[in-house]
Structure 1
């Protein structure tokens, strides 16, 4: 089945879908669905599986968080020769705000060259050692949790760093908790169901995930997800006829304009619910169509040599890039002169692995240029697609040289509307995006959104979207639209991620479990979800576009699907589409 044929099938699927990020609970946003007969037993089973996946992500994120300091301690110990490291310590604290203090611990237990808040420490406080790095148990000071890490040198002095664990505390979901190696919980979410003092208090059958090297146990217990239709209450989106003046029209009909992006307008009316408002609008001769303002949520789940970047987390953590044959592909393309628009919760403009890649951006929620990410999801997605690569820091992005266009269509809770997403698409197209990634979705078809998708496709933009994380055959929007490359998620073993949506609308697959990437406040975290799979494909599309700018969006889609590694039964199946993307094969087809 070729892509054009499959799109025709996908276009006929008018099912109801939603997405969420599989990660900390502050990313698991409201669903949008009209299917109310959701099986509660299945919901609880899926919730348990997602809790386990969430705990794994949290454990990997904690390990990632601490590994940066581990490598730094190794570096300082190699270069130290009884000299003064205080300037180096000061620089380290400036660059990494989660490092609150550094010092030398002498053989007679004295702290020297102390920088920051570190006040006192004895060697006896180290509780265990992993890969040459020594760790203390977490401790509390002034209501905050800290940890001491140390690296012993040949002269028996120890370089130590005090790590502020506030980031881990903030990153934890409301329904997660961490216990130290003694079984004492030192971080707990706000939900009473995870308020424990020791692991002995855990309910029978409770499963925990261990943080590598620390013997910390992470426990997650979320509630079964409810799937209720979500729209913006008492609001509607209308498309006005060309002759209508929106201000005059609204005044005559007693509507209040919430937002406007000609010819689309979001309106509300006092004492008028959404249903009555829609009936009224659809009778109005100046209205071409009217629909609810649907709520959207983000989606956290032949070459002879390899190009291996020097990014800190590339080799130990980014299994996902090796799996899609990207090191061989980087010999052929780097994404130069292409722009990937990330329509999401925004992007952290100050992240060291992103800031030099950012173009002008847009806030489609508030209609201004402040695209700052207050959620983290958009920053994570952007890093996967095109983080700064080969800069020693952090991670490698799929497309080295592509620019990132940050378009904020979701708020700090990872929630937005069909109107804000459509508005973001129009803006991205009109400002030069070559590829648009949409790791978000809703289970309702929207004429407004489809108009924007059609406009982008007609302008030659490559559209990529996550399939959704509800393990359902129902099709999500914009993923279900025929103009969009729809991406499912696979794990390290090339098996379908258990949460990944499936069906005839799936085009292709990409890694989506335990994916490390950039995060707000200059951090790096591990998340799972089809949200993470989608930007792999967006990055590949940019690599292809940079290799041959004359390729159309449909041609690039055909190459991606036609060169994928077949998975499952047959050339095409509903779980993997045409298979997992293969960067090397895709680029090789153009070169040949």
Structure 2
């Protein structure tokens, strides 16, 4: 009898401790409450309840939208105190559930103040692509007029480049073209300054081959081989001209054979063929479109064009921070040209490379296959279509389930965040652990009669918590009910069956433990599972009585508390009698 009293004191003590526990995490912000009325109550009862709530809260509940009428989902302004008032009201039994109307925010939108002016990034569908790749670990060689580290490139990582014009290691930009191109590719992003870049976690390798009057094929070819030898993954060449060159072709083949993706501008003469080096088969040739998604007036088209990307026009230019060629000072300037279109493709190629795709031909194929098709394009203004960053990254990731991908999925869904498990996720960890711990302590109180073994442990876990962590898992398109079933304790099984937050009194009682004890008391192993289940149910009911006393038919509050505590005590008594009897077998 003394042990039974100690057991009761333990259940009440743990329950009160959890009742006063304030949590370790903020669950979310909200300023309104969702009230979901049961669909089986009459319209008259519903109107009476709405009137009663309006009188109690001094505000009229409103339908969330015209689509909420059938589901009977209403909204009222309020906080946690409002929720408690509603749950304790006389009409609480007519309500399916009451919960905070949490406020969510859009994902992966940079905080760069001028990002809203970058129509070009949104037109390539970049924001969803960022959820999977930001270009980590990829190096992009910008073969251009050099790159200067303007303020909005301060957080962008650079690797050593070279100045082939002056034969020095200082590859700063004195014209502004190369810095603008590098900004489109990897402008520092989420730094509360300026604008954003596509693969903003990639590294830039500045290679200066152009001066005020252009640059030679010899310098460009050397820069291509330099980039390939120094570990570049992607090369961008926003440059071009007429004339085939064996030296250039040899350098491009060399880089391609070393796994480098090579991107070049198609040219700005509005001519029916791309310029060199974009014309070479190993190079991805990029034509330009304007802010309306149409061919830019200046862009080359036809032979040699592989894909199109935003290059801008007078109706909307490409904005990045670069060097003003007049005073050599940093400035946000809008440019237009296929020179601006090519780095969009180079940046997305870096996003694709960062997923683990190595072969440059496979990267090219992903970019081509994922592009948005333009149905009527007889003159090949757009190549395979218009660049789509999200579809490219998704296609690159399709079918890849690696440990890295799985960890990334866990992280993005919150499962690697301790805050999620402690108090902020789908499952509340602390009460569940307390239920398991409580069931083991109850078994310890009966240690003179209980035989600790695997069967007993399985019963304790099944009765108290189930494999509760499975309830928060959402695996692709698999149905969720098996996870909810395995993740439920015995008292919660009715919730899975009925799809309601209130406990079913048949499951949340001594009934199932009693049936199990009767069935298995004479079995040498299963009897301990039945006894463990009885103790586990006792722990679960005792703690739930103080944390969330909500039993179907009894409402939320005192009546449910009394029901749960009485059944918890009966489960302890049943386990005591059964274990005492079983110990003699």
Task: Tell me the TM-score range normalised by the shorter chain.
Answer: 0.3 to 0.5
Q: Indicate the structure (1 or 2) with the bigger Cα radius of gyration.
A: 2
Higher helix share: 2
Higher relative contact order (CA 8 A, sep 6+): 1
Higher strand share: 1
